[in-house]
Every structure is written in structure tokens, then in C-alpha cells.
Amino acid sequence: MNGMFRVLLLCLCMACLLGVSACSSKRISAYGPSPAVRQYTLGQRVVLAAQQQIGRKYRYGGESPAGGFDCSGLIWWAYRVNGIRVPRVTGDQAGAGVRVSPRRAQPGDILVFKTGRFWGGLHTGLYVGNGRFIHSPSSGKRVRIDSLANEYWGPRLRDVRRVVR
């Protein structure tokens, strides 16, 4: 038993010296995303950041994982962690970047919905792909993915804004 313990201890020490992790095959670098993440487009990386927040609580004015997100805060944060500046509030996000046809939407594009009667009744989400988008819906709800085929969201889509190319 003592000999087996030494072999296991030696293997563990070698693994530590070689930088091998038993829990993860990806290395975290201070110099940017890992090669596995770099293969994605910038828009896809923005979506991946937002998807990591699925389940976080909606909070009016929220713009962080710790405090929760409102709709525009989620978009602002997901772009920001990828080094891109976008406006913080929904009304300004509705005019960010360039307008594209909904048929040409790509992952990371900002979707603008008209949810209220007045000028301020806007909601934003991030296009994920395949007719789906991620957003922080409203008070009492959590960050989630919904479909543009949904009878509520589909008819309310007013604009698609491309911030990254």
C-alpha cells in the first residue's frame, strides 16, 4: 500500500508540474480567450457570454451577474466583456450599429421589440440563431432564451441592429 501511495503522489506531482488539470481540458489565459473560444465570431462570443447568465434574476437597472440584469444591461454587459462598447439603455441600443433585415440576423445582433404604446416601450435581446434570442424579460423573471416564433415576441420585433461584423 505504501508503494502505491508513493506512485499516486508522484503522478499527482507530475501532473501539477506539467500544468495538467484533472477537472478541465481548457487552460485559462491572462492573454485573452482560449483557442477553443477564439474560433467563434465576435457575435457568437457575445452570445456565449450572455448564455452564461441564463437563470440570473431580472433587476431594473441591473448590469452585472452579481446584481442581475435588465434587458439592455444584459446586452451592454455581454458586449463589454468582449471588449465592445454599446449604449447602456434600450432606446440608445435601438439605434446602435446598422439596421439589417430580420432574415439576415446573425448571432450577436441586437433585436429591438416594441412592447408598449409609447416611445419608451422598447425591449432588447440578443439574437442567438435559429430564430431564437436571449434576454432578461421583466420583473420577477430570469434571463432566458425565447423564440421569435412565439406569438408574443414575433409580432413585436421592430428592428435588428448589427454592432459587430
Residue 65, phi-psi category: left (phi > 0), alpha (psi -120 to 50), beta (remainder): alpha
> Any alpha helices (H) in 81-156, and if so which ranges?
90-93, 153-156
Residues with a catalytic annotation lie at 71, 123, 135
* Among the listed residues 74, 94, 49, the one whose alpha carbon sits nearest the alpha carbon of residue 136: 74
Distance (Å, rounded) from C-alpha 74 to C-alpha 72?
5
Residue 35 grid coordinates: 483557442
Answer yes or no: are the C-beta atoms of 129 and 46 closer than 8 Å: no
